[in-house]
C-alpha cells in the first residue's frame, strides 16, 4: 500500500508546479546558476518517519535557514541569558539585510536578520574560539540534527565571499560595538560558510522535526539541545522568521518557519512535524514562490495552522459505572492539564461518600508531568476524605508502580480487574 | 473535594501578591482612583468550566483588551479581506499610542495599537452606521461572548473623553485618509465607550475561551464568530498583542495575550483555555505587574507555552494481534494528522496478504476531519488490494455508520467483538 | 526711462512662461479653481522701491507662506526663548504634513511644517486669547507688514475647513501634549484663516523686504518686529523653509525662502530685497513650478546667492598721501568689520612717528556699530602713542560730532580741508 | 600700534578660558592624550591678513573639518553633477556616525556625516586611482589651501586605524552599493589619513578664507577651486555642517561652520573671513565647548550673523547737483544689484529733458558684473532718449575705458572735472 500522505504530497507537488513566476536569486552568482525546475517537499514526524516527493536528493545551500539552527547552538554554547543580552527577539520591521540595531542597547533586533545572525555566529563555541573552530562546531551540530554528515558547498562559499560587502559592513559595526574580538572578515567568512552548508529537503524536515520534538533527534534519539532552547528558537521563528512579513505569514499559515534565498523553506510544528520545501524561484521579497504556496496549501488542507481550534467532542472521562460498592471512572486520551482538569471536575461532582473509587487508565495513551501531578493531587485529596482509591493502569502511564504506593493509593494489576 | 486547580490558583495568588511595584494608570483620572490591592485570576476551559480566585466579582473596564474582540466583530461584519485591506497585521515596533501608519498604504500597522483599533471601531456594522449603532452592536457582541449582559462604566467613559486628544488626533488623521465618513469625534467617543465596557476576570476568561474554542461560546454553545475569524484574532494577538514587546512575551510566556491599562490581561490557548487576570498596578510599559507575573508562572508551571514540545512516549497504534485469519490493529488517543500518519505507516509495513484486517477504534477518543479522511483513504487502498477491512468503532468516531458502507468497509458492532 | 530692472523682470516672465508643467493644488477645492495662467513677479528693496511685472494685482491666499510671518509674531508676542522651548528649529527631513515631533521633548521640529505652524498659531497673543483675537492680531500684523489692510479669502477659508482633518489630527496631538488649552478645532480654524489671508506679489515682496530690513517696514518706516526676531525667522527659512528639500534649495538658489500651495513663493535677501513670485501650477512636492524657475534664474543671473563670494578688487583705504607734516588716509565704501580691520591694518604698518594723522571719511558711505567702534579704538590707540589724530567726516558717519571729542580726536569740519 | 582686533581676540580668549567643562575625545586613544588647556583663535580676511591669539603654533588633526575640503576637491575632480548624484546635500537629522543613507537612491545624505565623507574620499582623483594617490592628491590640495606644506600625524593615523570598525562598516556598505571598486579598507585608511592631517588655527582660518574668497587663496592668489565649488561647499556647511544641530547653530551663530572631534572649529563668512578656533574639550555632541562659545561671542559682538540686517542709512546716490546745463549725479559705495537699482530709480525720476547727465563714480569703490551691467543698460536707455551721458570714473570701476565708447557714452578723464 502506498501511503496516502505520499499521494497527497505528490498531488500538491503537481498542482503547485504550474506556479512558474519568480526569479532566481541574482545577487549571488552561484545561486543564479540553479536549475529553476527543481522542486521537492518532505515531512518528518516527531516519531522519525519521513515522506518526501519530487527532487528529494537535490542538495541546496541553507542560506538564511541556517539562522535558527545557529541560534540554537549559540543558546546551547553560551546560555539563554547571555545570548539574549546580545541579540533581541523582537521583529525588526525591516528587510533582512538592514544594518539596524536597537537604539541604546545596540543589540541587533533578532537573530533572523543578517546583522543578528552574524552576531550569533560570532558567539559560537566561546569568545576565544577561532574561525575554523566555529565552523567545524556548527557543521558537526547541523550534521547531528540531520543525522548524516553534511558538507559545505565550496562554489557557493567562494561566490558569496565575492559579494559579502554588506555583511562585512555589519560585522565591522558589531565589532565597533565591542560584540566580538575576532577579525570582522573572519566572522563573515564563517557566517558565509554557515550559509553554504548543503542539505536536501528530507534533511531539512528531519532537522525541523528535532526542534518539533523538544530537541530530540527523532531518528537517532539524541538530545541535541535542551527543550528550552528548542522552544526559544521556535518562538523567535514565529515573531521574526519571515522578516517584515512575519505577522502576515503567521496569520495566513500559522506554522513557525524560516526561508532561505536558495529557495528552501523550513517549517516546524511543535510536537508534530518538521517540513522542508525547495524550489529556487523567488518572489520580490526573496522567498521561494512555490514553497510559500506549498505551505499555504498544507496549512489549509491538513489543518496545521497553530491557531486553529477545532471544536472536538472529545471527553477525558469515557464513562463512569457503579460496580458493587466501587465507582469506576474510565479515562481516555492524553492526560495533560486540560483533561486532568476535566477529570477532577467530574470527581468533584460525584457522590463518592460510601463508595470506593477505581480510576481506570487503560485507555489513557500517555500523561505529561502536569497531568500526572494534577490527577494524583486530586486522588490524594479524595483519599484524605476517607475514600479508598485504586488505580487500574496497565500501561503504567502514571509511572506509579512502586514509587507512589506510600500515598496509600492502591495500584491494581491489569489482571485484577 | 476542592479542585487542585483552585488550590493551585490560590497559591499563585498568594505568592504573587507580594509583588507591590508599579503605579496606577495616571493619565485617565478615573483609573487613577482604582483600589490598587484588587487581584483576581480566572481560567475557563473550552468545555466551559471556570476556576476563579481572588476578587472575582470586581469589575474593571476592558480598555485595550477590547481591541481583539472589536477586531473579531469587524472581521465578522465586513469580511476578512476588506478589514485586512484597511488595517495590517504586522507588529509596529512602536508604543501603543503612536500615530504611525504604513508608508504608501496608510494602513495602521495592526488592530492592537490605538490608531488601528480606532480604524477597526469605525468599521463596525457598516459604513453608514451611526455612533450609537456601533456601540450597541459591539456591546451586544461582547455580552454574548461573556454570556451575560455587560455594561459601560459611565465614569470611566466620561473621564476618558476628557483626555482623548491623542485619539482624536488619530481619528482625524484616519478620516483625512478617507477611512471613514463619520465625524472623527463620534468614532472616538464610540471607541472610548468600547474601552469602558466593564467585565470581571471570569467574564474575561470565558470570552477568551470562546476564541480558544473556535468561536463557540463554551457555555451557551453559540457560534459567535466563524472559526477563521477566531484564528485571525489569535494570530494577531501573537504578533502584536503586547505592542513592541510581543516577541519577548511570546518567547517567555508563549500564550497569545492582550493587556489593558486598567490592569487586566487576557490570554488564550487555542483548543484549551481562556485566561483572565486583573491587578491594577502597571509597569512603565503600561502592563499590570502582577498579571504579567501570573502569566509567567502559569506558563512555566503548567506547561502552557505553545512552543513546548514535550517528548511523549505516545503511540497511535496500541497493539497489533493476530486472531485466527484476522489481523487486529488497536488504535488509541486522538485521530488527527499525526497519528493517522503513524497508523498508515504501520499498516504499510504489515504483511496483510492473506489475512483480513480489523481496525479497533474502541480506545480512540476523537477524530478530526483530516485524521478521518487519511485513515479511510488508507483503508480503502488496502481494500482495493483485496483484503477485507472491518472497523470496530463503538463510539462512532469515524462517523461511518450508514454513510460509508458503500466503500466496502464493514462496520462491526461493538458486540460483535 | 523705463527701469532695466522692470525690463529684466519682464524678460524673465516671458522666458519662464513657457514652463507649463505642474498641476493645480488638488486637495483644496477652492485652490483647484485657480486660473493656471496667472503669473507675476515683484521685488522690493530695503529702501522701499518695488518692481512688479505680470498679473500684479492678482490676489492669492498665503497658505504656508504665512508661516514665517506668524512665527515672527509669536516670537514678538511670547519671546524667543519661550517659543523655542515649544517649537524647534531643525529641519524635519519629512513632508510638510507629517505629524512628527521630536522624541522626548515632543516639540514639533520647526515652525515651517504644519504641526509646528499650528503650534505657533496657538501661541499668538497669549495663552488666554480667544480664536478671533489670535486671527485679528495676526491679520493686523500682516497688514502692517504689507502696508495696507489685508483680508481673508472667505471661499478659501470655507473650502479648507472641509479638508482640515489632518490639521485637526495635529492640533489634537499638540493639545494632548499640553501645548495649549484652547479647543483644537478653534486653533485649526484660526490657522486656516491665517492661510487664507490674501496678498498680491507686491505685498509679498514688501513683507519680505521688511524682514530683509531688520524688521523695519521699508515704506512706512515702522519697526514691526525687533531685528533679532527678523534674523531668527530668516535663519529658520534657510534651514527648513523648503521642507525636506531645504538643503538642495539653499545649495542651488542660496536665498532664504518659503513657498505656499496656492503657488506663491517668498524670498528674502538680508539687507537687500524681498521677492514675491506667483504661478499656481505645482510640482509633485507642492511648489510652484514657474516660481521655482524664476528664483533659480534670479539667483544665477543677478548674483543673489548668499554663499557667493565674488572676488572684488575693493579696498577700504583709497589712498594715503603726505600733506606737509600730516599723513592723510582716505577711506571709502562701508565701514564695517571687514574694512575697519583693513584700515587698522594699514595704520599699524605706517610710520607715523612724527606726523599728525588725518582720517578722511568723505567717501565712506556708512558705518555700522562694529566698524565705528573698531576704527575709534584704533585711532585712540594711535593718539595714546602721542600722534595727533584728526577726522574729516562731513557726513558724520562716525556720529562723533560733539559726543566723542573728549577722546582728544579732533573732528574737522569739511570746510577746514 | 597693536591691532584692536588682536586685543579683542585676546579678551575673548581670556574670558572664554574659564569654561572648563567638557571631556577629551575618548574613542581615539591618541586624541585622549591631548593637552586639554591648549586654546587658540585665528581670523583671516579675504585680503589675506591673519590675526591669531593663544597657542597659535599648536597643531591638531583636522578630523571632520577635513570633510568640507575633501568635498571641494571631489567636486573639482569629478564635477558637481557627478558628485551630487552620489552624495546628497540634505541634513540627515542623525548623529555623525550613523550608517544612514537615503532610501531608494542609497545616497549618503550629505558629505558632512561620516558615511558621506567616506564616499567623497573614495571619489577623489578618479575611479581608478590608488589609495596613496588619493591621499597625496588631497594632502597637496590642503597644503595649497593653507599656503604651506601640511603633514599627516602618524600617531593619530595609527591610533584611528585601531578604532575604525564603524568606518569600515560604512565603507563595506558603500561598496555593496557599487559606489567604488577599491578595497573598502583602503578607502577607510585613506579617509583616516585625511582626518589625521595636522594644522594650526591660522592654517584653518586661511583655508576658510580661501572659500570665503570664492576659491582664491588670499595670500598666494591661487584659484584653488572654482567659485561655484566654494559656494557649494559653504551651502552644505550651512545645511549640515553641525550635524543634527545645524538649524540651531545657524539660528544662533549664523556662520557656516564645521567642527572636528580633535577640538577645532572652522567658520567661513562669504566675502569676509575664515575663522579657526581650537580647544580640545568636547561637549556630549563632540563639539569643542570653548570653540562653540568663541563663535557665539564673535557672532554676537562683531555682528557676523549672516541673517543680520542692520538698518543702514546708506544711499547709493550721494548727491545730485546742477552744474550749468549738466545734471551731475554722484554715486558712492559698492555698485552691485542693490545700489545700481537705487541709482536707476533716481535717474528715472529726474527731469533730464534738456540737460546732459554726468555720472560721477569717483566715490564708487567697486562694481560687480550685475551692478555694472544694470547701470550701463540704464544709461544707454537715457542716451537713447536723446540725452548726452558722460561718466566720470577715475578708478575705472566700470571698466569702460576703450571698450564701451561705441555705446555713445562719453568717459571723462578725472582731470576734465
Q: Is residue B310 part of a domain?
A: no
Contacts of D99 in chain A (CB under 8 A): 99, 169, 173
Average pLDDT over residues B333-344: 79
Taking alpha carbons only, the member of A236, A189, A233 closest to residue A91 is A236
Q: Is A261 tagged catalytic?
A: yes
Per-residue model confidence as pLDDT tens digits over B61-91: 999 999 999 999 999 999 999 999 999 998 8
Give the nearest partner residue to C332 out of D5, D250, D363, using CB atoms: D363
Per-residue confidence band for B354, with pLDDT thresholds at 50, 70 and 90? low
Report the DSSP pairing between strands B410-412 and B389-392: parallel
Contact A194, A66 (CB under 8 A): yes
| Rounded-to-integer distance, Cα B152 and Cα B196, Å | 5
| Rounded-to-integer distance, Cα A234 and Cα A225, Å | 13
At residue D339, the pLDDT reads: 75
At residue B314, the pLDDT reads: 55
Shared-domain flag, residues C282 and C207: yes
At residue B158, the pLDDT reads: 94
| Rounded-to-integer distance, Cα D396 and Cα B269, Å | 93
Q: Indicate which CATH number applies to the domain containing C74.
A: 3.40.710.10
Shared-domain flag, residues D345 and D268: no
Chain C contact for B173 (CB, 8 A cutoff) = yes
**Is there a binding annotation on residue C317?**
no
Q: Check residues B296 and B301 and name the one with the higher pLDDT.
A: B296
Share of chain B above pLDDT 90, in %: 56
Angle in degrees, CA A158, A161, A163, rounded to 5: 125
Looking at every residue in chain A, the average pLDDT score rounds to: 88
Give the nearest partner residue to D165 out of A163, A167, A176, using CB atoms: A176
Contact B82, B103 (CB under 8 A): no
Angle in degrees, CA B225, B226, B230, rounded to 5: 75
| Rounded-to-integer distance, Cα C250 and Cα D377, Å | 30
Shared-domain flag, residues B290 and B326: no
Shared-domain flag, residues D144 and D227: yes
| Rounded-to-integer distance, Cα D107 and Cα D125, Å | 20
Q: Is residue D307 part of a domain?
A: no
Residues 6+ apart with CB under 8 A from B15: B297
Average pLDDT over residues D2-9: 81
Q: Indicate which CATH number applies to the domain containing B410.
A: 3.30.750.24
Taking alpha carbons only, the member of B101, B235, B228, B237 closest to residue B177 is B101
Contacts of A312 in chain B (CB under 8 A): 271, 334, 366, 368
Average pLDDT over residues C184-206: 97
Contacts of A99 in chain D (CB under 8 A): 99, 169, 173
Strand partners for A324: none
Per-residue confidence band for B311, with pLDDT thresholds at 50, 70 and 90? very low
Contact A276, A204 (CB under 8 A): yes
Contacts of B99 in chain C (CB under 8 A): 99, 169, 173
Share of chain A above pLDDT 90, in %: 56
Q: Check residues A386 and B415 and name the one with the higher pLDDT.
A: A386
Contacts of A165 in chain D (CB under 8 A): 172-173, 175-176, 184
Q: Is residue B242 part of a domain?
A: yes
At residue B336, the pLDDT reads: 77
Give D355's DSSP letter: S
Shared-domain flag, residues D13 and D136: yes
At residue B384, the pLDDT reads: 86
Please tell me the distance in Å from A125's CA to the nearest CA on chain B.
23
Please tell me the distance in Å from D319's CA to the nearest CA on chain C.
12
Contacts of D168 in chain A (CB under 8 A): 168-169, 172, 184
Share of chain B above pLDDT 70, in %: 92
Is pLDDT at C97 greater than 90 in this prediction? no
For testing contact with chain A, the best of B48, B235, B300, B369 (most A CBs within 10 A):
B235
Domains contained in chain C, number: 2
Spatial strand order of the sheet with C273-278 comes to C50-54, C40-45, C273-278, C264-269, C257-259
For testing contact with chain D, the best of A115, A165, A166, A177 (most D CBs within 10 A):
A165
Q: Is A243 tagged catalytic?
A: yes
Looking at every residue in chain B, the average pLDDT score rounds to: 88
Per-residue confidence band for B132, with pLDDT thresholds at 50, 70 and 90? very high
Query: Looking at chain D, which residue has its C-alpha nearest residue A164?
Result: D176
**Is there a binding annotation on residue B27?**
no
Query: Which residue in the list A64, A122, A205, A259 is annotated as catalytic?
Result: A64
Domain's final residue, options D251, D275, D302: D302
Contacts of D171 in chain A (CB under 8 A): 169
Shared-domain flag, residues A330 and A365: yes
Q: Which chains border D (3 or more CB–CB pairs < 8 Å)?
A: A, C
At residue A164, the pLDDT reads: 87
Taking alpha carbons only, the member of D384, D362, D376, D374 closest to residue D405 is D376
Q: Is residue A308 part of a domain?
A: no
At residue A408, the pLDDT reads: 67
Is pLDDT at A401 greater than 90 in this prediction? no
What are the catalytic residues of D?
Answer: 64, 67, 191, 243, 261
Among the residue ranges B25-39, C300-314, D355-369, the one predicted with the least confidence is: C300-314
Strand partners for C153: none
Is pLDDT at C82 greater than 90 in this prediction? yes
Per-residue model confidence as pLDDT tens digits over C4-60: 788 889 999 999 999 889 999 877 888 888 999 999 999 998 888 899 999 999 999
Query: Which residue in the list B8, B51, B71, B243 is annotated as catalytic?
Result: B243
Is pLDDT at A415 greater than 60 in this prediction? no
Cross-chain residue pair B333–A365, CB shorter than 8 Å: yes
Per-residue model confidence as pLDDT tens digits over A238-296: 999 987 889 999 999 999 999 999 999 999 999 889 999 999 999 988 899 999 999 99
Q: Check residues B375 and B225 and name the one with the higher pLDDT.
A: B225
Is pLDDT at B101 greater than 90 in this prediction? no
Domain's final residue, options A302, A333, A366: A302
* pTM reported for the whole predicted model: 0.83
Is pLDDT at C416 greater than 50 in this prediction? no
Q: Is residue B308 part of a domain?
A: no
**Is there a binding annotation on residue A64?**
yes
3-state DSSP assignment of residue B289: helix
Q: Which of residues 330-389 of C touch B (CB under 8 A)?
A: none
Looking at every residue in chain C, the average pLDDT score rounds to: 88
**Domain hosting residue C357, numbered range:** 317-416
Kindly provide the ipTM of the predicted complex, given to two decimals: 0.88
Is pLDDT at C350 greater than 50 in this prediction? yes
Q: Check residues C153 and D103 and name the one with the higher pLDDT.
A: C153
Shared-domain flag, residues A132 and A216: yes
Chain D contact for A165 (CB, 8 A cutoff) = yes
Shared-domain flag, residues D194 and D62: yes
Q: Check residues D123 and C366 and name the one with the higher pLDDT.
A: D123
Per-residue model confidence as pLDDT tens digits over A76-97: 999 999 999 999 998 876 666 6
Give the nearest partner residue to A309 out of B213, B239, B309, using CB atoms: B213
Among the residue ranges A412-416, B14-18, B292-296, the one predicted with the least confidence is: A412-416
Q: Is residue D222 part of a domain?
A: yes
Shared-domain flag, residues B17 and B135: yes
Give the nearest partner residue to D176 out of A169, A171, A176, using CB atoms: A169
Shared-domain flag, residues A273 and A372: no
At residue A406, the pLDDT reads: 52
Among the residue ranges B413-417, D74-78, D175-179, the one predicted with the least confidence is: B413-417
Shared-domain flag, residues A333 and A185: no
Shared-domain flag, residues A199 and A340: no
At residue D417, the pLDDT reads: 39
Per-residue model confidence as pLDDT tens digits over D61-84: 999 999 999 999 999 999 999 999
For testing contact with chain D, the best of A161, A164, A173, A192 (most D CBs within 10 A):
A173
Per-residue model confidence as pLDDT tens digits over C303-343: 889 998 764 445 678 788 888 888 889 888 778 777 788 88
Per-residue model confidence as pLDDT tens digits over C406-415: 556 777 754 4
Taking alpha carbons only, the member of B213, B273, B90, B87 closest to residue A250 is B90
Average pLDDT over residues A375-390: 87
Is pLDDT at B260 greater than 80 in this prediction? yes
Is pLDDT at D309 greater than 80 in this prediction? no
Q: Is residue A309 part of a domain?
A: no
B21: Cα within 13 Å, side-chain hemisphere = 7
Please tell me the distance in Å from C27's CA to the nearest CA on chain B.
11
**Is there a binding annotation on residue A37?**
no
| Rounded-to-integer distance, Cα B117 and Cα C17, Å | 50
At residue C215, the pLDDT reads: 95
Per-residue confidence band for A334, with pLDDT thresholds at 50, 70 and 90? confident
Strand partners for B410: B390
Per-residue model confidence as pLDDT tens digits over A208-241: 999 999 999 999 999 999 999 999 999 999 999 9
Please tell me the distance in Å from B187's CA to the nearest CA on chain A.
27
C-beta atoms surrounding D14 within 10 Å: 12
Per-residue confidence band for D313, with pLDDT thresholds at 50, 70 and 90? very low
Q: Is residue B138 part of a domain?
A: yes
CA distances from A92 to A290, B88, C243, C309, D322 (A): 26, 16, 29, 48, 81
Is pLDDT at C158 greater than 70 in this prediction? yes
**Is there a binding annotation on residue B314?**
no
Known binding-site positions of D: 64, 114, 160, 167, 191, 243, 261
Is pLDDT at C253 greater than 90 in this prediction? yes
At residue B335, the pLDDT reads: 82
Residues 6+ apart with CB under 8 A from A14: none
Amino acid at each position: 500500500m502506498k501511503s496516502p500522505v505520499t499521494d497527497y504530497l505528490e498531488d500538491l507537488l503537481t498542482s503547485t508546479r504550474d506556479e512558474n513566476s519568480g526569479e532566481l536569486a541574482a545577487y549571488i552568482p552561484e545561486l543564479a546558476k540553479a536549475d529553476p525546475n527543481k522542486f521537492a517537499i518532505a515531512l518528518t514526524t516527531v516519531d522519525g518517519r519521513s515522506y518526501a516527493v519530487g527532487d528529494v536528493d537535490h542538495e541546496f545551500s541553507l542560506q538564511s535557514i541556517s539562522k535558527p539552527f545557529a541560534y540554537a547552538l549559540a543558546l546551547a554554547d553560551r546560555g539563554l541569558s547571555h545570548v539574549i543580552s546580545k541579540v533581541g527577539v523582537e521583529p525588526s520591521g525591516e528587510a533582512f539585510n538592514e544594518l539596524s540595531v536597537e537604539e541604546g542597547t545596540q543589540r541587533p533586533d533578532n537573530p533572523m536578520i543578517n546583522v543578528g545572525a552574524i552576531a550569533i555566529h560570532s558567539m559560537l563555541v566561546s569568545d576565544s574560539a577561532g574561525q575554523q573552530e566555529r565552523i567545524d562546531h556548527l557543521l558537526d551540530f547541523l550534521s547531528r540534527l540531520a543525522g548524516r554528515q553534511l558538507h559545505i558547498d565550496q562554489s557557493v562559499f567562494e561566490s558569496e565571499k565575492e559579494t559579502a560587502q554588506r555583511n562585512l559592513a555589519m560585522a565591522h559595526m558589531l565589532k565597533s560595538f565591542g560584540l566580538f574580538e575576532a577579525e570582522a572578515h573572519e566572522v563573515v567568512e564563517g557566517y558565509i560558510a554557515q550559509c553554504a552548508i548543503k542539505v536536501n529537503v528530507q534533511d531539512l524536515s528531519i532537522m525541523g522535526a528535532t526542534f518539533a520534538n523538544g530537541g530530540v533527534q527523532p531518528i537517532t534519539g539524541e538530545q541535541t539541545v535542551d527543550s528550552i532552547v528548542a522552544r526559544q528558537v521556535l518562538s523567535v521563528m514565529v515573531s521574526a522568521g519571515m522578516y517584515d512579513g512575519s505577522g502576515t505569514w503567521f496569520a495566513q499559515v500559522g506554522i513557525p518557519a524560516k526561508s532561505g534565498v536558495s529557495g528552501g523553506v523550513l517549517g516546524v510544528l511543535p510536537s508534530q512535524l518538521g517540513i522542508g520545501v525547495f524550489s529556487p524561484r523567488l518572489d520580490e521579497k526573496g522567498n521561494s514562490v512555490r514553497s510559500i504556496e506549498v505551505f499555504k496549501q498544507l496549512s489549509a488542507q491538513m489543518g496545521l495552522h497553530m491557531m486553529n481550534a477545532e471544536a472536538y467532542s472529545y471527553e477525558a472521562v469515557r464513562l463512569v459505572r457503579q460496580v458493587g460498592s466501587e465507582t469506576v471512572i474510565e479515562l481516555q486520551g492524553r492526560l495533560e492539564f486540560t483533561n486532568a482538569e476535566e477529570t477532577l471536575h467530574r470527581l468533584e461532582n460525584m457522590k463518592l461518600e460510601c463508595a470506593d473509587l477505581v480510576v481506570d487508565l487503560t485507555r489513557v495513551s500517555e500523561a505529561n508531568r502536569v497531568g500526572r501531578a494534577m490527577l494524583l493531587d486530586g486522588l490524594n485529596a479524595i483519599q484524605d476524605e476517607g475514600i479508598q482509591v485504586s488505580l487500574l493502569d496497565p500501561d503504567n502511564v502514571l509511572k506509579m508502580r512502586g514509587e507512589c504506593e506510600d500515598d496509600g493509593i492502591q495500584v491494581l494489576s491489569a489482571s485484577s480487574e
